[in-house]
Structure 1
Amino acid sequence: MTRTRPMMPRAAGLLLHPTSLPGPYGIGTLGSIARRWVDRLGTVGVGYWQILPLGPTGFGHSPYQCYSAFAGNALLIDPDLLVDAGFLGPDERPPRSPEGSAVDFDTVIARHTAMLEKAHARFRPTKAFDAFCADHAAWLDDYALFMALKTYFNERVWNDWPENIRLREPETLAYYASVLKDETGFHRFVQFCFYEQWEALRSYANAKGVRIIGDLPIYVAMNSADVWAHPEYFQLDDALQPTAVAGVPPDYFSATGQRWGNPLFEWERLEQEGYEWWIARLKGSLELFDWVRIDHFRGFESYWSIPADEETAINGEWIAGPGGRLFDAFRSALGRNLPIIAEDLGIITPEVEALRDDYGLPGMKILQFAFGSDAGNPYLPHNHIQNCVVYTGTHDNDTTNGWFYAAPPEEAERAHTMRYLHCPWEAFHESLNRTALASTANLAVLPLQDLLGLGSDARMNTPGTSEGNWHWRVTPQQFEEAPWDGLKSMLALYGRA
């Protein structure tokens, strides 16, 4: 197979989820402060803004456990933009919160839901709304009914609903669609608002020379409209319970592996239908983003299958995935050059590397993983290739300073790190940032926390835990006092501006 030339020019990016932006409403939103963020990136010469999944979050508020693979997170809708659109009165915005406070999800959900209900009561359908609903009907109709039913059945998981609606009997679907007409209308309106605001922000970013890298988790949540609407695409038994679930074996992050609990795909059924669901999912992502990072890329080559009754991920097995057949389908539908970044971390085999390379997809290099062995470590900068993306760390890592100072690596690894970087002890994060930017990798991405030199209290997520994650926000002072001039200078120095 002829390999595709790398598509991504030499550039730099910053990693920051929109929820972590400052702002007065308890959570980052898609309004004026997001545009200020984009302005700053464009002025400095940062060409890419990388974010986490944008879906409506469920368990643990994790963006990797969403109620839909297609819908947007209502909490990101900006109240001021609703006022500007005439959907909300100026006095109907949520109460203001300290701009740098961590996200209190329970409070934000209550306030945003009340705000959106007021906006929906004021809203009258328009041609733009009708067109949006028609264009997105393939997923929006199921999602709106799913969310309405979730409330109707007191938040119970869908496979615990009454049998006739759990099994989607046509007469029952029609009955609930009629009974819950107002509720489904509300959820369509919310998605209309989200998409309008996001598309405006993305267009603004592109006009400033900033491209957006989105994040597409390979798996979807069991408690989602996707699984309820298409149980045939997942490994479920006759009672619609998972027979096996997703995760990874013991690794760097956990001695017992990670049992994510997501239902696994019925890849044979998906192949029989030409991978239409997956193509629609990727197309939907590329309508929102310029590039897409696919989380757990190695699961396409082979995936770790854990019996559903196992409490940990230890007793799983590797099962062959769709491999190149899926990516051939992507190419047929989307064109030869796929704007996909492969998250190729974890237990990577030559077969996974071949799948990535055959389709010209850049992989990921994490500098925090670089210093635990010898000079052959693939994450060390001298081993990087051009067609990859280098990070100091990701949302799943501790911050650079947290990793090195608060939870230090073993003495030999720390010594190797200092010897390799040849930097002063007190300037460690600056040296690691500089090393990433100096790499031959086409794209270097720094989490904003690492640009700021923050500690473990700014960590976004700790894998294998369900408490205390996803809450971090940058303060207005940190936003303004970040070393923007120094970053601009380094981007010019290393040819990334």
Structure 2
Amino acid sequence: MNNCTVVNILRQRSSGILLPIFSLPGPHGIGDLGHAALRFIDFLKAAGQSCWQILPLGPTSPLFGNSPYMSPSAFAGSPLLINPDLLVEQGLVRRREILPPDCSEYSVDYHLVARHKAGILALAWQRFQLRSDWPDILETFAATHPWCLDYALFVALKQRHQGKPWYGWPEEIRHRRPTALAAARRAMREQVDAVVFEQYLFFGQWQHLRDHARRQGIRLIGDLPIYVALDSADAWANQDIFQLDRETGLPTDVAGVPPDYFSATGQRWGNPLYRWTTGDDLIRDRLWDWWEQRLRLNFMLTDTLRIDHFRGFAAYWAVPAEEETALNGRWLPGPGQPFFEEMDRRLGGMSIIAEDLGLITPDVATLRDTLGYPGMKVLLFAFDGDPRNSYLPYNTEKNSVVYTGTHDNDTAVGWFLNPDVTRESKRRAKRFANRSDDHAGSFHQELIHLALASPANLAILPMQDVLGFGNDCRLNTPGVLAGNWQWRCAERFVNKDVAAWLSDLTTLFGRVPPESDCQTGATQDP
């Protein structure tokens, strides 16, 4: 691995683009870790950008609308993101065996892609087993990634039990009796090894991408959901660190947020909660060790992490599992400052962005500021007419990350065309950009000017806003299960003209960093 470091994007003026891996162009129906990803890194460099922000990389499920925030593993990579062309180059499949199906260059058909990639991975697995050293390769990989064997067994057991959640499996497997687990591993060794092989491929391709990003001086920003899915390898393999009923495996309390301006009954997410406040030192140590492993892996994959729902580390909303809404929840204390200080000590430093949107109480702001983590400033939230609005450009702190919008927002142009947004808010947004017209077509450029000109050290621009795309290119609508996480950026839009325009703006607003250490050979603290 290339050991050079690049500039600290959180401590000096810089900018980057938000684009999920699945949104990349490419012939196989979904963005993946192949050559298109490397070309996008080259585009970022040509555009004067310092970083690429992505969404979580884990496997997704159609039961949850293929949301990257509801994965069956907090550690595994999605096999849908494995690139077939690189498998051809490795000699694991033949070119004629990876001919892509007829699919859209603008959206992901997850069912079609899953079938396409599954066939290719099955062929690659057959060929891989022709190597005499394949067991040693997978054994070495699993030793480096100890979570992988539990995850692989979880996937195999899900298949054996027709997709039932783990808490519906036979008692001896649900409770992870050692003899039952050993018997399952023996009976399903082929299936378990095949899943480990997929993870071996994913992490190998990711390392190739990461090395290229380092050579080009591009930092990668990952995204870490605070909670895991109930039906996940993490909850099944670590039941004692979650608030679960010991007999049934079902949650006693679940995650959510209390009632607010947007919802009179709050949001009941349903994720299991961590046992942060247990009086058992052994369980506390296991919980912190699990988080250390999770953070360590994510910092192996990326340079900086955006921690989703950061406020849950100060205090979290616990909803009794039997409640249908989040109305009757209660606040419970999170692990707070000692947790982050200990993780920082164990990992030798962490580069973190705190997702501090929504209901932020003084204790959350104090935790964020004491730790020195930058928070998020979303410009689309700024134009309500309150001069104290913290998202307004002139109220933005230097130690923050400004976004035109996030994966949960409409695009800039979509927001301006939305009839539910008041005319006053649109007029106010235009005035901040020194415009008096009511044209939506240029609004993305005006919002990008405001973001890049702001005091925030880091500015992040969703690719849809860079290109001026509308509501049909939105990534996610919270609270709506269907139709999300599908948008893809066609290859022709990632071009030299866009790169030149963005590079000029980035230079104008002083966000082009000095030459990276990867090019000069110097070293610099991250």
Check whether TM > 0.5: yes
CA distance in 1, matches of 2:288, 2:212: 33
2:180 is the alignment partner of 1:168? no
Q: CA deviation at 1:360?
A: 1.0
Q: CA deviation at 1:272?
A: 4.1
Q: 1:469 to 1:274 in 2, by over 3 A?
A: closer
Which digits, 9 at most, give the CA deviation of each residue in 1:438-468, with x for residues without a partner?
1111100000001111111100001111111
Which residues of structure 2 form unaligned runs of 5+?
A: 1-7, 513-526
Q: CA deviation at 1:333?
A: 0.4
2:452 is the alignment partner of 1:434? no
Which amino acid in the other structure matches residue 70 of structure 2?
Answer: Q
2:255 is the alignment partner of 1:246? yes
2:222 is the alignment partner of 1:214? yes
Residue of 365, 375, 392 corresponding to 2:404: 392
Which residues of structure 1 form unaligned runs of 5+?
A: none
- The within-5 A match list for 1:89-100 is 89-98=94-103, 100=105
Q: 1:54 to 1:407 in 2, by over 3 A?
A: farther
Task: Give the corresponding residue for 1:267.
Answer: 276
- The within-5 A match list for 1:344-383 is 344-383=356-395
Task: Give the corresponding residue for 2:65.
Answer: 60
CA distance in 2, matches of 1:224, 1:94: 32
- The within-5 A match list for 1:156-235 is 156-235=164-243
Task: Give the corresponding residue for 1:492.
Answer: 507
2:29 is the alignment partner of 1:45? no
Q: CA deviation at 1:484?
A: 2.1
Q: 1:190 to 1:68 in 2, by over 3 A?
A: same
Q: CA deviation at 1:338?
A: 2.1
Q: 1:481 to 1:250 in 2, by over 3 A?
A: farther
Q: Is the 8 A contact 2:383 2:428 kept in 1?
A: yes
> What SS does structure 2 have at the residue aligned with 1:483?
helix
Task: Give the corresponding residue for 1:330.
Answer: 343
Identity percentage of aligned residues = 48
Larger deviation, residues 149-158 vs 405-414: 405-414
Task: Give the corresponding residue for 2:322.
Answer: 309
Which amino acid in the other structure matches residue 188 of structure 1?
Answer: V
Q: Is the 8 A contact 1:14 1:50 kept in 2?
A: yes
> What SS does structure 1 have at the residue aligned with 2:494?
helix
Larger deviation, residues 325-334 vs 103-112: 325-334
CA distance in 2, matches of 1:229, 1:381: 45
C-alpha RMSD of matched pairs (Å): 1.7
Q: 1:407 to 1:251 in 2, by over 3 A?
A: farther
Which amino acid in the other structure matches residue 205 of structure 2?
Answer: Q
Residue of 80, 96, 102 corresponding to 2:85: 80
CA distance in 1, matches of 2:398, 2:296: 26
2:333 is the alignment partner of 1:320? yes
Task: Kindly tell me the number of residue pairs found equivalent between the two proteins.
Answer: 491
Residue of 31, 38, 49 corresponding to 1:28: 31
Task: Give the corresponding residue for 2:144.
Answer: 135
> What SS does structure 2 have at the residue aligned with 1:49?
strand
Which amino acid in the other structure matches residue 382 of structure 1?
Answer: Y
Q: 1:253 to 1:480 in 2, by over 3 A?
A: farther
CA distance in 2, matches of 1:90, 1:254: 51
> What SS does structure 2 have at the residue aligned with 1:36?
helix
Q: CA deviation at 1:132?
A: 1.4
Structure with more relative contact order (C-alpha pairs < 8 Å, separation 6 or more): 2
> What SS does structure 1 have at the residue aligned with 2:248?
coil
2:432 is the alignment partner of 1:420? yes
Task: Give the corresponding residue for 2:522.
Answer: none
CA distance in 2, matches of 1:398, 1:431: 16
CA distance in 1, matches of 2:26, 2:97: 17
Q: Is the 8 A contact 2:59 2:78 kept in 1?
A: yes
Task: Give the corresponding residue for 1:148.
Answer: 156
Q: CA deviation at 1:396?
A: 0.4
CA distance in 1, matches of 2:328, 2:162: 34
> What SS does structure 2 have at the residue aligned with 1:361?
coil
2:494 is the alignment partner of 1:479? yes
2:266 is the alignment partner of 1:257? yes
